[in-house]
């Protein structure tokens, strides 16, 4: 069995460990749990974030503000391995202490930490996840990639496969190349040998999500790991693109849904020397996200609606406790929780007040929103502020829950009646929140993007709208299609045909519980990425 070291910038293990920002980290955490369940030889490599990602609360006029409380209680959950490694940043040695997360139900997760007095100013390198600017990000990626490889070596952990989850870990490939060059191989030979060890998962189809750095900044920070300018350009281009580097450093790569694979192939088709890209659809850890009461009812083929009512009531109580708003148990509740970025179109449902207003005024449709924007993303913050204004316009039927986290995600994906997802196709890589909802019997209402493109059976296990259209006036066409399905299909079924609704809930669980589990995903990783030498991407 191949021994795998999984590198990721963030890990969502549970709500109390603020080591994650969003979906990338939740996926990584689910992989750590699924690998443990199946007793697979996987270890995780990450960073111990002293402040974690932003806590995002609502200020005046509903505009979010960011705070960064210290995360020092996390040390109570860690074992000191006694191992320290050095990385060179700005021509200074920075010490990284290696901690092991002491938590049942996950494979060993090793976290690198620069929060040491002897590091002086550099102690803050591992302070904020995705915080600050280019130099700090490069320093963090040096710690994760170069420091991560050195930590594995000093921990005496044998590794057959290095799995980079996103481009943040690409500098680990430079360290592996440099180690081989130190043993006498030339650059090209070292690169070829290194590629045999690395696989790569690419995520976002949004250009801004594929990080680039100036070569001079990389040289100044030490991220080039003493490789020459020409060697760096050969790996990542100019400017140095971390995703391109991941594709050129690996023997195999994967997109995170079948549609995303097609998108990634088009996006990176001009990258010479890249690895083949296959499709391995994301999955979710059922023990974390699926309520056992719902699965018991599904397996017994009775009591599904009664169980859903209990989960819905728990959600209503939770929302009231968090926001002061008491939703109507007998009325339809739609959930929407995402990173707040424009392509996810969080406010789409409000696009035509003449059509949606009466349903919200009467409370026939109730909406719960939650999500966070990047701390430096003013556009994302405006989206949140707009949603808060809608909640003030419809105070009894629209709610926004601040500071989105795993706890909010669990309540929403178990307790709402419908899960709304309307990204602008094809910009959603996968979208695992809809999988969690589907496995809990919550019916998806979504554009045909990400995982839903391969899962949807319209009118049987949920609904799609827009027909997968991409092109001119996409927002207007999708809005019209959303209203048509919502008003003509979803609402009449919910209020007038409970038997059919429950049948669709059964179908939703039945069609997703096995197919989109993290267990199935990691089995595919082993069969198609870790143990296969190469597949073609055509």
Three-class DSSP labels, 257-303: CHHHHHHHHHHCCCCCCCCCEEECCCCECHHHHCCHHHHHHHHHCCC
Note whether 423 and 437 are same-domain residues. yes
Note whether 206 and 291 are same-domain residues. no
Note whether 140 and 261 are same-domain residues. yes
Question: What pLDDT is stored for residue 533 in this prediction?
Answer: 63
Q: Which residue from 486, 491, 329, 325 is spatially nearest to 394, judged by alpha carbons? A: 325
Tell me if 372 sits within 8 A of 401, measured CB to CB. Answer: no
Q: Is 350 left (phi over 0), alpha (psi -120 to 50) or beta?
A: alpha
Question: What pLDDT is stored for residue 534 in this prediction?
Answer: 57
DSSP state for residue 316 in the 8-state scheme: H
Please indicate, yes or no, if residue 38 is contained in any of the structural domains.
Answer: yes
CA atoms within 13 A on the CB side of 514: 3
Burial (CB count within 10 angstroms: exposed 0-12, middle 13-18, buried 19+), residue 261: buried
Q: What is the rounded distance in angstroms from the CA atom of residue 502 to the CA atom of residue 497?
A: 9
Question: What pLDDT is stored for residue 225 in this prediction?
Answer: 96
Cis peptide before 363 (omega within 30 of 0): no
Q: What is the rounded distance in angstroms from the CA atom of residue 48 to the CA atom of residue 65?
A: 23
Please indicate, yes or no, if residue 216 is contained in any of the structural domains.
Answer: yes
Q: What is the rounded distance in angstroms from the CA atom of residue 137 to the CA atom of residue 131?
A: 8
CB atoms within 10 A of CB 76: 7
Q: Which residue from 106, 165, 191, 111 is spatially nearest to 143, judged by alpha carbons? A: 111
Please indicate, yes or no, if residue 112 is contained in any of the structural domains.
Answer: yes
Q: Which domain holds residue 379?
A: 286-516
| Tokens (6 digits) for 22 | 């969003």
| Bridge partners of residue 80, in order along the sequence | 99
Note whether 310 and 241 are same-domain residues. no
Q: Is 136 left (phi over 0), alpha (psi -120 to 50) or beta?
A: alpha
Q: Which residue from 98, 67, 74 is spatially nearest to 84, judged by alpha carbons? A: 98
Whole-number CA gyration radius for the chain: 23
User: What is the residue whose two structure tokens read 């059509």?
Assistant: 355
Q: What is the rounded distance in angstroms from the CA atom of residue 366 to the CA atom of residue 399?
A: 8
Helices (H), 349-394: 353-362, 378-393
Note whether 150 and 259 are same-domain residues. yes
Note whether 413 and 267 are same-domain residues. no
Q: Mention every residue, 6+ apart, whose C-beta is less than 8 A from residue 247.
A: 200, 202, 253, 268, 271, 274, 275, 277
Note whether 172 and 272 are same-domain residues. yes
Question: What pLDDT is stored for residue 13 in this prediction?
Answer: 96
| Tokens (6 digits) for 247 | 């594709």
* CATH number of the domain encompassing residue 292: 3.40.50.2000
Q: What is the rounded distance in angstroms from the CA atom of residue 300 to the CA atom of residue 396?
A: 36
As for how many domains the chain has, the answer is 2
Please indicate, yes or no, if residue 487 is contained in any of the structural domains.
Answer: yes
Distance in angstroms between the alpha carbons of the first and the last residue of the chain? 28
pLDDT tens for the chain, residues 1 to 538 = 999 999 999 999 998 899 999 999 999 999 999 999 999 999 999 999 999 999 999 998 889 999 999 999 999 999 999 999 999 999 999 999 999 998 899 999 999 999 999 999 999 999 999 988 899 999 999 999 999 999 999 999 999 999 999 999 999 999 999 999 999 999 999 999 999 999 999 998 887 778 999 999 999 999 999 999 999 999 999 999 999 999 999 999 999 999 999 999 999 999 999 999 999 999 999 999 999 999 999 999 999 999 999 999 999 999 999 999 999 999 999 999 999 999 999 999 999 999 999 999 999 999 999 999 999 899 999 999 999 999 999 999 999 999 999 999 999 999 999 999 999 999 999 999 999 999 999 999 999 999 999 999 999 999 999 999 999 999 999 999 999 999 999 999 999 999 999 999 999 999 999 999 999 999 999 999 999 765 566 4
Note whether 511 and 524 are same-domain residues. no
User: What is the residue whose two structure tokens read 């996987």?
Assistant: 42
Please indicate, yes or no, if residue 68 is contained in any of the structural domains.
Answer: no
* Pairing state between β 198-201 and 212-213: unpaired
Tell me if 399 sits within 8 A of 391, measured CB to CB. Answer: yes
Please indicate, yes or no, if residue 465 is contained in any of the structural domains.
Answer: yes
CB atoms within 10 A of CB 80: 12
Note whether 454 and 382 are same-domain residues. yes
Question: What pLDDT is stored for residue 537 in this prediction?
Answer: 62
Please indicate, yes or no, if residue 59 is contained in any of the structural domains.
Answer: no
Q: Mention every residue, 6+ apart, whose C-beta is less than 8 A from residue 358.
A: none
114 three-state secondary structure: coil
Note whether 266 and 362 are same-domain residues. no
Q: What is the rounded distance in angstroms from the CA atom of residue 433 to the CA atom of residue 339?
A: 11
Q: Which residue from 258, 311, 208, 209 is spatially nearest to 431, judged by alpha carbons? A: 258
Q: Mention every residue, 6+ apart, whose C-beta is less than 8 A from residue 131.
A: 51, 54, 68, 375
Note whether 272 and 202 are same-domain residues. yes
Tell me if 77 sits within 8 A of 67, measured CB to CB. Answer: no
Note whether 254 and 314 are same-domain residues. no
Cα separations (Å) of 138 from 210, 212, 242, 326, 347? 14, 10, 11, 46, 34
Q: What is the rounded distance in angstroms from the CA atom of residue 485 to the CA atom of residue 483?
A: 6
Query: Which of 436-439's residues contact partners 24+ apart within 8 Å by CB, and which partners?
Result: 436/284, 436/289, 436/290, 436/409, 437/335, 437/412, 437/413, 438/462, 438/508, 438/509, 438/511, 438/512, 438/516, 439/284, 439/286, 439/289, 439/290, 439/508, 439/509, 439/512, 439/513, 439/516
Please indicate, yes or no, if residue 69 is contained in any of the structural domains.
Answer: no
């Amino acid at each position: 069995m191949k021994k795998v070291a999984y590198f990721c910038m963030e890990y969502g293990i549970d709500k109390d460990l603020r080591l994650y920002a969003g979906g990338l980290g939740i996926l990584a955490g689910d992989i750590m749990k699924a690998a443990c369940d199946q007793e697979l030889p996987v270890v995780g490599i990450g960073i111990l974030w002293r402040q974690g990602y932003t806590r995002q609360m609502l200020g005046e006029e509903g505009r979010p503000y960011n705070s960064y409380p210290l995360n020092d209680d996390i040390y109570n959950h860690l074992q000191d391995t006694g191992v320290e490694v050095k990385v060179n940043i700005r021509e200074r040695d920075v010490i990284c202490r290696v901690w092991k997360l002491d938590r049942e139900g996950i494979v060993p997760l090793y976290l690198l930490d620069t929060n040491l007095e002897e590091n002086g100013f550099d102690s803050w390198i591992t302070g904020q996840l995705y915080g600050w600017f280019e130099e700090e990000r490069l320093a963090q990626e040096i710690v994760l990639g170069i420091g991560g490889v050195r930590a594995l070596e000093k921990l005496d952990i044998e590794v057959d496969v290095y799995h980079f989850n996103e481009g943040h870990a690409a500098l680990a490939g430079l360290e592996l190349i440099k180690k081989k060059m130190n043993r006498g191989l030339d650059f090209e030979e070292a690169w070829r040998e290194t590629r045999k060890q690395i696989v790569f998962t690419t995520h976002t189809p949004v250009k801004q999500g594929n990080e680039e750095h100036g070569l001079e900044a990389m040289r100044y920070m030490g991220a080039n790991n003493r490789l020459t300018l020409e060697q760096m350009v050969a790996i990542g281009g100019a400017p140095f693109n971390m995703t391109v580097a991941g594709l050129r450093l690996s023997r195999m790569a994967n997109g995170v849904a079948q549609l995303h694979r097609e998108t990634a192939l088009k996006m990176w088709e001009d990258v010479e020397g890249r690895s083949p890209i296959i499709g391995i659809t994301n999955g979710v850890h059922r023990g974390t996200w699926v309520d056992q009461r719902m699965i018991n009812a599904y397996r017994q083929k009775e009591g599904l609606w009664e169980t859903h009512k209990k989960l819905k009531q728990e959600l209503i109580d939770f929302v009231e406790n968090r926001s002061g708003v008491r939703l109507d148990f007998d009325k339809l509740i739609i959930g929407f929780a995402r990173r707040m970025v424009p392509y996810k179109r969080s406010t789409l449902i409000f696009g035509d007040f003449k059509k949606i207003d009466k349903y919200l005024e009467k409370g026939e449709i109730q909406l719960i929103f939650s999500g966070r924007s990047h701390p430096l993303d003013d556009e994302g913050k405006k989206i949140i502020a707009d949603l808060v204004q809608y909640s003030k316009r419809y105070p009894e039927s629209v709610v926004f829950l601040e500071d989105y986290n795993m706890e909010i995600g669990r309540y929403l994906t178990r307790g709402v009646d419908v899960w709304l997802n309307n990204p602008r196709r094809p910009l959603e890589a996968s979208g695992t929140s809809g999988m969690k909802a589907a496995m809990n019997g919550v019916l998806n209402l979504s554009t045909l993007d990400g995982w839903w493109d391969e899962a949807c059976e319209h009118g049987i296990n949920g609904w799609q709208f827009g027909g997968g259209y991409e092109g001119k006036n996409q927002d207007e066409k999708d809005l019209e299609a959303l209203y048509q399905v919502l008003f003509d299909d979803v609402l009449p079924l919910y209020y007038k045909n409970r038997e059919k609704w429950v049948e669709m809930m059964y179908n939703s669980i039945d069609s997703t519980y096995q197919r989109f589990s993290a267990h199935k995903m990691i089995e595919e990783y082993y069969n198609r990425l870790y143990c296969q030498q190469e597949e073609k991407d055509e």
